[in-house]
Amino acid sequence: MDGIINVHKEKGFTSHDVVAKLRGILHQKKIGHTGTLDPDATGVLPVCVGRATKVCELLTDKSKTYTAVVRLGVVTDTQDMTGNILEEREVSCSLEEIKEAVSAFTGEIWQTPPMYSALKVNGKRLYELARQGIEVERKKRKIMIYSSSITDYRPEKNEFTLKVCCSKGTYIRTLCHDIGERLSCGAAMASLVRTGVDDFRLEDSFTLAQIEDI
């Protein structure tokens, strides 16, 4: 089989888990994914099969869209709600102030990759160092936020939903963290769904169970 499968990655699976399970379902070894999604994140993960693995890098470079729930008033070591809470702060910002903070992170911006990431420094994954309590200097990277908007605001929960279209290499939980720092109340990502990778959309994707049935 040669082609690209639009997989709907479910919570709890790593991108490598998806590839491993597809090898079993399709009885085929030559399979590669087009960019990692955190285990707790869900959504679009295009997977290249057979000769299509040659275009994996091309798809990795494409723009991506996400929907993230942002929790205000909290700072964690992982920049999302799966981590340890480092600080809890009072939230006094208005919706207008949140919108201003979000718009400040639009266009070409610099972002420092989080310690809890798969990037390598001196041959070691950053998350491996982070788990040992070691923090190392990370180089800032230039990324592009093509568009971002607030689609839902729940002040009683100190939460809002953020829709983002961005370039490769963007860490959405770092974006949430940086928005929180700009607001001075802190923020962490509560959930993340990747809704699109270029022309691959969530509504056209298939879970592993559905692929197995097909």
Q: Are 140 and 159 in contact (CB under 8 A)?
A: no
pLDDT at site 57: 84
In this prediction, residue 166 carries a pLDDT of 97
CB atoms within 10 A of CB 29: 7
Other beta carbons less than 10 A from residue 213's beta carbon: 9
Q: What is the reported pLDDT for 125?
A: 81
Do the Cβ atoms of 25 and 47 come closer than 8 Å? no
* The one-letter amino acid at 14: T
Find tokens 């491993």 and name the residue: 20
Residues of the chain with pLDDT under 70: none
69 close to 157: Cβ distance less than 8 angstroms:
no
What distance in Å separates the CA atoms of residue 77 and residue 177, rounded to the nearest whole number?
10
- d(C-alpha 176, C-alpha 164), whole Å: 11
Q: What amino acid is encoded at 140 in this protein?
A: K
- pLDDT value, residue 55: 87
Nearest to 66 by CA among 169, 199, 166, 159: 166
Half-sphere CA count of 19, side-chain side, radius 13 A: 19
**Which residues belong to the active site?**
38
How much is the pLDDT for 28?
Answer: 94
pLDDT of residue 31: 95
Residues in the chain, total: 214
CA angle 162, 167, 169 (to 5 degrees): 95
DSSP assignments along 68-88, one per residue: EEEEESEEESSSBTTS-EEEE
Q: What is the pLDDT of residues 88-136, one digit of tens each?
A: 999 999 999 999 999 999 999 999 988 777 778 777 787 787 788 888 7
**What's the confidence (pLDDT) of residue 137?**
80
The tokens for 22 are: 């597809």
- The greatest distance separating any two alpha carbons of the chain, rounded to the nearest whole angstrom, comes to 55
Model pLDDT, residue 161: 98
